[in-house]
Amino acid sequence: MNIFFVTILTYGLYRLAKFITTKVSFPLFHPLLFTPALIILTITLLNIPADDYLAGATLLTHLLGPAVIAFAVPVYKHLSILKKYVGKIVITVLIGSIVAIVSSYGLALVFQLEEHFLISMLPRSITTPLAMEVSEDTGGVPALTIVFVIITGICGSLIAPSVFKLFAIKSQMAKGLALGMSAHAVGTNKALQYGEEATTFSTLAMVLAGVITIILGRVFIPLFL
């Protein structure tokens, strides 16, 4: 499938999902659910293999790289926040990363997931390239890890408003750190809705969670598996 057609189709359906979400706030219209679903439907009807679509989507996937780099901007703009809260941020994210790995492991046992699912799932809270690296380190299936990372992102941005309501979370710091910690870049994108401070905290949590999880993956996970 040609790159032009794929980009236009994807961008058009993405704009549509974004437009609908401004009118009705119903989780099924989330751009990461609604748009992929319509694309899958379209390529199935047109009898196009998913790999052909993916081959034409390189421009869009490529932009994920510069997009992660772009998060340096809100961090720089709120440098004073970083300096002031660096200790709290590091401790919070360290605890969060351990909770993420241990809860994935425990729940996977409870739900009797097969071993390659279980291992591939452990780094699901961190950003895609890092998660794939941890997955490879610990003997998981990186391709499966990408799927789990995406599902985590979707879950995270869908449940965030209810979680914050349930636990009576008011501060931008708590919202931002929780989003970046639990739902990586997709969570950080959600944090834009809560403000620039929340975005900064979320970015810091996302980067730090990635780095900490890599270290945990190399040092601690092998002790348990």
Residues found in the chain: 225
CB 158 within 8 Å of CB 189 = no
Q: Chain-centre distance of CA 83, in angstroms?
A: 25
Among 192, 220, 222, 225, binds another protein (CB under 8 A): 192
Residue 58: closest CA among 14, 12, 7: 7
Q: How far is the CB of 22 from another protein (least distance, A)?
A: 13
Q: Which residue has the tokens 């996302």?
A: 206
Q: Token digits for 155?
A: 């879950």
Position 217 contacts another protein (CB under 8 A): no
Comparing CB distances to another protein, the nearer of 77 and 139 is 77
Helix or strand or coil: residue 182? helix
Structural tokens at position 219: 């040092």
Q: Does 152 bind another protein (CB under 8 A)?
A: yes
Q: Does 210 bind another protein (CB under 8 A)?
A: yes
Neighbouring residues of 55: CB distance < 8 A, sequence distance ≥ 6? 1
Select the residue interacting with another protein from 8, 28, 86, 151 (CB under 8 A).
Answer: 151
DSSP assigned state of 47: T
- The answer to whether the beta carbons of residues 157 and 192 sit under 8 Å apart is no
221 binds another protein (CB under 8 A): no
Binders of another protein in range 80-119 (CB under 8 A):
81, 88, 92-93, 95-96, 99-100, 103-104, 107-108, 111-114, 117
The number of residues that bind another protein (CB under 8 A) is: 104
Q: Name which of residues 124 to 143 contact another protein (CB under 8 A).
A: 124-125, 127-130, 133, 143
Letter string b/e over residues 166-184, b meaning 16 or more CB atoms within 10 A of that residue's CB:
eeeeeebbbbbbbbbbbbb
Site string for another protein, 17-36 (x = CB under 8 A): --------------xxx-xx
- Choice between 185 and 216, CB closer to another protein: 185
Q: Which residue has the tokens 């910690």?
A: 181
The reply to whether 181 sits near another protein by the rule CB under 8 A is: yes
194 near another protein, rule: CB under 8 A: no
48 part of the interface to another protein, by CB under 8 A: no
Least separation in angstroms between residue 23's CB and another protein is: 17
Work out whether 68 is an interface residue with another protein (CB under 8 A). Answer: yes
Query: Can you tell me the distance from the alpha carbon of 194 to that of 161, in angstroms, rounded to the nearest whole number?
Result: 10
Q: Which of 8, 54, 86, 90 binds another protein (CB under 8 A)?
A: 54
Reading the block at residue 66, the tokens are 């510069």
With respect to another protein, which residue has the nearer C-beta, 73 or 139? 73
